[in-house]
Structure 1
């Protein structure tokens, strides 16, 4: 009998989001959306008068920030309704409506860029002096408007561009429907001999199996599914990247990367330093791959062999309830206020845990100021599931603490700092688990292996994704076609460079790029790599109780976007403008590989 994936209605309520904290029903949402549209019309009264006086500038931003937060509340409701089951037409309808609200907001506020950027530095100083309440919006105005002076269009053109957001977003929507609802991975016979439907969550579980035949079949099913749709995925990704390029060109950026990194105040040199430094340290990944091959006794090792535990019988499994208890214990080192936030998250409907038919793949956290964060998981009873819970809880707690200590306009911290909070939790969890199983040789070996693979998967692999993404954008910007074959060649070549000679391949081209949703969040993935390197250092200091380390880190969590990301990280004790932090992080990796090699007698 085939075990089928649960439908949304079959998932217990305690494993679902509590969306009533946002709106009591779809009807209540519709009423709020209608009221929001009326407020947008009223906001238009500020057009032409933004900088008439210090008071008018203050009122404009006070109203605008409040509307922005209300929009987020509306949109998160739409998004979570859709992502909980992308096969439900009501959720799709609501998401489309939410995207329409975003476009309407962009059009209604497009005049701000033009009018605010006309304000000179001397005029802005005078306005701040005339209206002390403007001080609370000072950084918000400087970062989001004044620094954009060279990157805006005339008001009417900005309005037209804002109204086009639904067009620019359509590729992401198509990808989501294709990847989360339409694609099918077939059925496989599991370790118990039962025929089960193959899903992304089960892929994660089965690739850890000691049954090589099962791993091979699962791998082939996934590759076949993506290969069968590779041309559609290629067209969708190309359309998305073309849209990103056009929007950045219109705003006077030379390249898409320049424009996307500008938004988060990150120099492009940080991106290039990451890729170059990771390439300089690929020998560590190559040594680990060779160690794996030797321990497994394989003449040829393939991609489906790279996740199985090297110590048989040491695979850890936890229920969702058990994982919550472990995370609470592992992270108590971060203080009572942090633990209090976790308890709210774990018991008050902040998490949508179970996998179900049509559910959005992967995991994420999104915050609504004045409500609470929302976390999406697709739960699996393995160490990956436990780690993902700790990871997404890191995001949730950064939002939870930031919301307590910052005004709403300073809470929307960039991804660059967000991923530090999540991966610091991963590193603290690993340190806790290594201590817990210090006297269990097999378990310690398993955890060391997991730690090494997490580092490689987050620093090296995400750097590879970043390198691939940038190559794709450069290809499109050069006017060359981004075909499925071209994408497969680019991805396959990078795969071989990063994995090294110990890993065999059956084809020079790989369709795996098609299954990575983060390419639709522009120039995003590199921040996983930088953040894991940074958090490796921070977590080590916190766990060893280096004086001041915890206090610096907690101040960082509470700071939101009140300072530039590089400055916040520097105050936490890491200089991201230097490649030294990456060298230091790779030194930790090398030490763990050596320790695992000795433990395994190799």
Structure 2
């Protein structure tokens, strides 16, 4: 008999998030959505009058902020109902309604872009003196409106674009439905003869198996599943990227990258510095893979061999219950107030932990101001499950502290800073575990191996993704569609450059690109790499209790988006406009590789 995934109904309530904190029922959600639409109609009274006076400007932004909070609450409920079981038509319907509500919001308030952007600096300064309440919206107005004057269209054109927003978002939706609801990864047979339905969570466990045939089966199943749909997925990605390119061109950006980074206040030089610095340090990854090949005695060695423990599997299991306790211990260094937030997260229905049929793959955190963060996991009883819990808890605690210390318009921090909080937790967990198992050689080897793999996965591989994504956008910008076979060849070529000669390719094509959801997030992936590099430095300082390091970090967590990302990071002692922070982070990687080699006697 094949071991099957649980259905949503079979998952215990204690492993599900509590959506009643948002709305007590689907009917209450529907009522709130209807009430929201009436509020939007009322908001229309501001059109043509936003900048008539300082008080008008203040009242408009105050009302807009409340509308955005309501809309995001609706969105999170709809998204959570959908993502917990993408095969459930009720969840799909509610998510569609929530997305439609957001599109309606964007269309209904789009007149603000042109009206506020036309406000002169001198008149805005006068308004600031007249209306003290505008101080709460100063950064929002300056960054999102006045700074963007050259990239905002006339009101009617902005309204039309806002009304077509669901078309631009449709590529991501199709990808999610196709890969989470309609696609199956097949079955594999374990070494005991048992058939198991493959999922991404079980695949992460099989990746560490000493049974090479099992690892190969799991890898081939996934590649075959995506290859069957490669042309559809290439067309879906083409549609999404075309929408992004069109949207940026219409807003007078020369390239999609320029527009997407501009909105996040990140110079393109930060992106280019990352790619250049990672290329300069690829020898670390090459050295590590040579070490793996030597220790495992594999000729050839493939990508699916990259997570096999080098000193035998220590057979340690991290259950969900035990992992929560470990995370609390590991992050105690961040203080009692941080632990208080974690205990709320673990005990008050913030997390949807168990994997089930139709559940969205992966993990994420999303915050609802005035309620609390929500976390989606697909739990597996291994170190990856433990680190994912620590990672998403980092996001949740940044939201928790931002919500407590900032007005709602400055709580939604940008991704460039968000991934610092999550990966700082990962690095602190690693340091804690290395100390905990200091006398266990095999476990230290296992942990060092996992940390090196995680660094390479977060910095090197995400930079590879960033290069691949940029190549895709340049193809679209040159007027050509994305062709599946060409994408697979391009990805395989980049993979060979990053991994070096120790790892062999199974083919001249690599379908890996097809299962990366972050390619639908518009120049998102590079921020995983910058964040891991930054957090490697910060976590080291915090764990060693460098004077001032914890206080600086706590201030960072509380700041939300109240300052530009680069400025926030400078205040914790890291300058991302220079490549030095990357050199410092790779020095830590080199140290870990050297320590691992010593333990292995190599």
Q: Distance in 1 between matches of 2:17 and 2:191?
A: 32
Matches within 5 A, 1:373-384: 373-384=373-384
Counterpart position of 2:304: 304
1:485 equivalent in structure 2: 485
Aligned partner of 1:591 in structure 2 is 591
The 5 A counterparts of 1:101-112 are 101-112=101-112
Task: State the distance in 1 between where 2:176 and 2:140 align.
Answer: 32
Determine helix, strand or coil for the equivalent of 1:366. strand
Task: For 2:387 and 2:470, locate their aligned partners in 1 and report how far apart those are by CA, in whole Å.
Answer: 28
Partner in structure 2 of residue 213 of structure 1? 213
Q: Which residue of 2 aligns with 1:93?
A: 93
Q: How far apart, in 1, do the equivalents of 2:521 and 2:316 lie?
A: 32
* Partner SS state of residue 524, structure 1: coil
Matching of residue 202 in structure 1 with residue 185 in structure 2: no
Unmatched runs of 5 consecutive residues or more in structure 1: none
Q: Say whether 1:461 aligns with 2:458.
A: no
Q: What's 1:425 paired with?
A: 425
Larger displacement relative to structure 2 (39-48 or 182-191): 182-191
State the number of aligned residues.
602
Q: CA deviation at 1:481?
A: 2.6
Deviations 1:166-219 (A, max 9, x none): 111111110001111111111101243210101111111111111001011111
Deviates more, 1:101-110 or 1:308-317: 308-317
Counterpart-to-counterpart distance in 2, 1:222 and 1:51: 55
Contact 1:86 1:360 in 2 (8 A): yes
Gaps of 5+ in 2: none
Question: Quick one: distance in 1 between partners of 2:57 and 2:545?
Answer: 46
Kindly state the Cα deviation for residue 301 of structure 1 after the two structures are TM-superposed: 0.4
Superimposed CA distance per residue, residues 421-464 of structure 1 (whole angstroms, 9 cap, x where no aligned partner)? 00000000000000000111111011010110010000000010
Q: 1:112-261, aligned counterparts within 5 Å?
A: 112-261=112-261
SS at match of 1:331: helix
**Match for residue 281 of structure 1?**
281
1:315–1:446 CA contact under 8 A, matched in 2? no
2: CA distance, partners of 1:154 / 1:505: 51
For 2:527 and 2:193, locate their aligned partners in 1 and report how far apart those are by CA, in whole Å: 41
Alpha-carbon separation, structure 1, partners of 2:392 and 2:170: 27
| TM score, norm. by length of structure 2 | 0.99
Which secondary structure state, in structure 2, belongs to the residue aligned with residue 485 of structure 1? helix
Partner of 1:264: 264
The whole-number CA distance in structure 1 between the counterparts of 2:315 and 2:364 is: 25
2 CA distance for matches of 1:129 and 1:595?
A: 60
1:21–1:371 Cα contact (<8 Å) kept: yes
> Helix, strand or coil for the counterpart of 2:374?
strand
Task: Give yes or no for contact 1:84–1:360 (8 Å, CA) kept in 2.
Answer: yes
Q: CA deviation at 1:276?
A: 0.7
* Pair 1:520 & 2:520 matched: yes
- Counterpart CA distance in 1 for 2:313 and 2:175 is 38
Q: Residues 81-119 of structure 1, C-alpha deviation per residue, up to 9 Å, x if partnerless?
A: 000000001111111111110110011100000000010
Say which SS state the counterpart of residue 561 (structure 2) adopts.
coil
Deviation digits for residues 557-589 of structure 1 (CA, Å, limit 9, x no counterpart): 000000000000000111111000000000000
What do the CA deviations read for 1:220-259 (whole angstroms, capped 9, x no partner)? 1111111111000000000000000000111111100011
Determine helix, strand or coil for the equivalent of 1:188.
Answer: strand
Deviations 1:18-38 (A, max 9, x none): 000000001000100000000
Q: SS where residue 44 of structure 1 aligns?
A: helix
SS of the residue corresponding to residue 94 of structure 1 reads: helix
Distance in 2 of aligned mates of 1:546 and 1:245: 45
Indicate the residue corresponding to 1:559 in structure 2.
559
What is the DSSP-based 3-state SS (H/G/I as helix, E as strand, rest coil) of the residue aligned with 1:2? coil
Q: What does 1:322-361 align with in structure 2 at a 5 Å threshold? A: 322-361=322-361
Tell me the equivalent position of 1:318.
318
**Could you list the per-position Cα deviations for residues 459-491 of structure 1 after superposition, in whole angstroms to 9, with x for gaps in the alignment?**
000010011000100111011231001110111
Q: 2:405 and 2:299 mapped to 1: Cα distance?
A: 57
Distance 2:63 2:480 in 1: 45
Q: Contact conserved, 1:365 with 1:374, CA < 8 A, in 2? A: yes
Question: Counterpart in 2 of 1:413?
Answer: 413
User: In structure 1, how many angstroms separate the alpha carbons of the residues matched to 2:310 and 2:7?
Assistant: 35
The structural deviation recorded for 1:316 is 3.0
Most deviating of 439-448 and 191-200:
191-200
Paired residue secondary structure (1:209)? coil
- Displacement of 1:315 in angstroms is 4.3
**1:466-477 map, 5 Å:** 466-477=466-477
DSSP-derived class of the 1:482 partner = coil
Whole-Å separation in 2 of the counterparts to 1:148 and 1:124: 15
Contact in 2 for aligned 1:317/1:382 (Cα 8 Å): yes
Give the alignment of 1:26-41 within 5 angstroms: 26-41=26-41
Query: 2:466 & 2:52 partners in 1: Cα distance?
Result: 44
1:593 match: secondary structure: helix
CA distance in 2, matches of 1:380, 1:111: 47
1:24-83 deviations in whole A, cap 9, x for unaligned? 001000100000000000000000100111000000000001100110001100000000
Match of 1:443 in 2: 443
For 1:392, the equivalent position in structure 2 comes to 392
Corresponding residue SS for 1:145 = helix
CA deviation map 1:296-321 (0-9, x unaligned) = 01121011111111111324321100
